[in-house]
Structure 1
Amino acid sequence: MEEYIKEALAVGHIRPSTSLAAAGFFFVGKKDGGLHPCIDYRGLNAITVCYPYPLPLVPAALEQLRGAKFFTKLDLRSAYNLVRIREGDEWKTAFHTTHGHYAYLVMPFGHTNTPAVFQSLINGVFQDILGKWVITYIDDMVYSTSLEEHMRHVREVLSRLQWHHLFVKPEKCEFHQTTMTFLGYVITRQGVEMDATKGKPRRLAWTNQAQAAFQQLKDCFTTAPILCHPDPDLPFMVEVDASSSGIGAVLSQRHGKPGKLYPCAFYSRKLTAAEANYDVGNRELLSIKAALEEWQHWLEGARHPFQVLTDHRNLEYLHGAKWLNPHQARWALFFTHFQFSVTYHPGSKNCKVDALSRQFEASSELMQPDLILSATAILAQLPDAPGPTCLWIFQPTYPTREDLLR
């Protein structure tokens, strides 16, 4: 922390402050083993007017790459810290550490409007060439149909960044490639492919049970409820649930009068082996994170704060929690991109998401019944017993009241 404070002071990102505001400061681990500064701006975010500038849709961004043969990906150095905070508003970003009280002069990580403001800025830099040979999605992608054209395009992009005092991180950039990973997909001359490292090869065994499930799926498609088109002018509602094997979520909005709730989208997936070991609270919190990631293009920068419904009452205190484990700290940083409240919703009313999260549970025929013992029974293993190792159950007897009075 001391090293970060010294560096941030030296480059002019922060300055000592006497502000009455004082957000918590901590670090979360990054994938490359480094540390990422995180400010707990939940209090500030709760009273901040949201800047409604959504991120581009991933499918729309990938469609623009059709016909391209050469690709370059640029990673801006400390991207958010390249934007100056309006003079006079610095005191709002104040944070406290063991080394003093400071405030940011540039956009910090953790503020709800930071991603939207930066996206607006970078779109302004490349406004006349967006969709032609540049994609901006936090990272910048340059694409072209020939190498000569691509080199000219890359020089133009770098020149614009330099003009606006925006600088790239060379070690994170990839230049003049014919194959590249972008937005979680592998981009090639032939098209868009799934990242093979994110999947496990598995041979499909088409059984009678699979055929029955396929037929059931077709029946569901013909009788499923109508999905309404998401309307950015209306508030969203997110219902979430987690079971021991999966998570589920429903994105909904109220339409008409008196405001009937209609689903906009459904989401569910099976828990990984590591996630299945989470306690109940962390599984429920994971369902919120997964839902916000799935519908980030609608919920981040939404015009109205949205509501998250969960049957885990403790999550109502999510925004006020003082002690977070490493998982929760990383997720808390992600949650700062959104404006939402968490509301307890009894499990008896959580039928839709309950069905989505529990569809991955093993059938009752495959589950072994648990041995139930009396509270007074004692279970002992006797390795020296004749024959195979045996388990013996002793049921001790205790004197009755009549026996004691004799």
Structure 2
Amino acid sequence: MCVDYKALNKIIVADKHPIPNIDALLDELYGATVFLNWIYDLDITRFGEHSFFVKLSKCCFGHIIVNFLGHVVSSEGVQVEGEKIAAVQSWPIPGNVKQVRGFLGITEYYRWFVRNYGLIARPLTNLTKKDGFLWSKEAFCAFQALKLALTTPVLRLPDFAKEFIVECDASSDGMGAILSQDEHPIACFSKGFSPSNKSKSNYDRELLRPYTVD
């Protein structure tokens, strides 16, 4: 079957603006003290005119703290939403690969809160490979460490008018970095080394740090 969509294309309004990711959205909030999670213009917005509705009970206006896509945002910075922390804390010990992937899915979303996330999670990541599921002491320690790591961090929102500092470190297993301003962390980065990078000399692995972070 062949369909000519020319008529349909004429009445569809193309979205010419790329949707920013969560990091980019949060980066724009530095200096803000009052927040809302919905844009509402009384002069031009007519809800229902095009069968478009919002539930005002789910909207926030003029708040000093707001929940946004699993994050709590305030003038102090960004932290993990309480419900997400509770979900991680109550997560049972995985009994199979699917459950490990589920746990990694929720923690990886917040990996920029955790220093050396990739290295900490490596024992769990290894369980998702084809070699088979075998729960170990190392996996349990990684499981508990990630639970603890997500409970307390508050990341400062970046001020693009100030200088940024990147601290890097590398080991035989991987590398990590912290982006900060005025000694306050803004974001964390980490990555485990592939077998080929593991075989490199310490000097070469150290050189991978600024290249990878950039």
**As a proportion of its length, which structure holds more strand?**
1
Q: TM-score band, normalised by the shorter chain?
A: 0.3 to 0.5
**TM-score after normalising by structure 2:** 0.37
